Amino acid sequence: MKNLTTYFLKMAIVLMLPALLLTGCASRKNILMLQGLSEQTGTFTNSGKASYKLHKGDNLYIKVYSVDEKTSKFFQSDLPNLMNQTYMFLNSYTIDESGFIHVSFIDKLLVEGLSIEESKNLIQKALNEYFKECTVVVKLVSFQVSVLGEVNSPGSFTIEKEQVNLFQALGLAGGAKDFSNLRKVTLVRQTDTGSQVQVLDMTNQKILESEFFYLMPNDIVYIQPVKAKTNIGSAPYLLISTLSLALLALNIFLK
């Protein structure tokens, strides 16, 4: 009778192990990025790499340098030049509802719809009418993206350059967790009329050519968990419950 009990227990464990292993491996296909590139190389063209176009509400940090001492003093700030985000924000100019910025000694300039480089050239041209041998530096202060969900370090991140792509943003957030579903990455983008929601597949190499591959300021990236996560989390309890029921059934059967 003892051998029969041991036999049934072994059979129960053998039957349950494949199900548990399959559950544990269910998310592997959802976390491997750019599948299909492991044994080949290629060139991917992305027309969405164009520079970001300025919108109303954006903040531009504008700094003027000049070899002329009087000109330099005119544009100096009373705040210490720490060159961090707080300093840049306090010394920035906000694009108003009509798309203009207002810079000292310059008439309002229409910069909405321009790239950072184009706005820099416009400001430089306007300043050249008043000052000689001056150089303008323009940076976008309000470029932040948020990465949430199944990542190791979720949060909002300030981008110090004009462009960032999905993979770089994921890297800023510490990378994806084991149970992230990179087949269904939700991108929320703010527009003038509301929010645009797009579901992206980062496991597909075609993401490199997507118009949503490069992020825009204030984009939100949400990494969903795979459905198997909850099943894996409850697997030990399911195993204990199943074994308990098996033992109870055997005990009743063998009496």
**Residues 59-104 pLDDT 10s:** 998 888 887 776 666 666 655 555 566 777 777 889 999 999 988 7
Evaluate whether residue 54 is within a structural domain: no
Q: Which of 161, 134, 255, 139 is nearest to 215 (CA)?
A: 161
187, 200 in Cβ contact below 8 A? Answer: yes
Q: Name residue 225's beta-bridge partners.
A: 180
**Maximum C-alpha span of the chain:** 103
Instruction: Enter the DSSP assignment of 208.
Output: G
| pLDDT average, residue stretch 181-191 | 91
Q: Which of 140, 158, 186 is the last residue of a domain?
A: 140
Instruction: Enter the DSSP assignment of 52.
Output: P
136, 54 in Cβ contact below 8 A? Answer: no
| pLDDT average, residue stretch 37-48 | 64
Look at 49-63, 175-189, 204-218 and tell me which has the smallest mean pLDDT. Answer: 49-63
Instruction: Give the range of the structural domain holding residue 108, as residue numbers without chain letter.
Output: 59-140
Residues 160 and 132 in one domain: no
Alpha-carbon span 92 to 7, nearest angstrom: 76
Q: What residue type is assigned to position 213 of the chain?
A: F
Residues 164 and 102 in one domain: no
Evaluate whether residue 12 is within a structural domain: yes
pLDDT of residue 57: 87
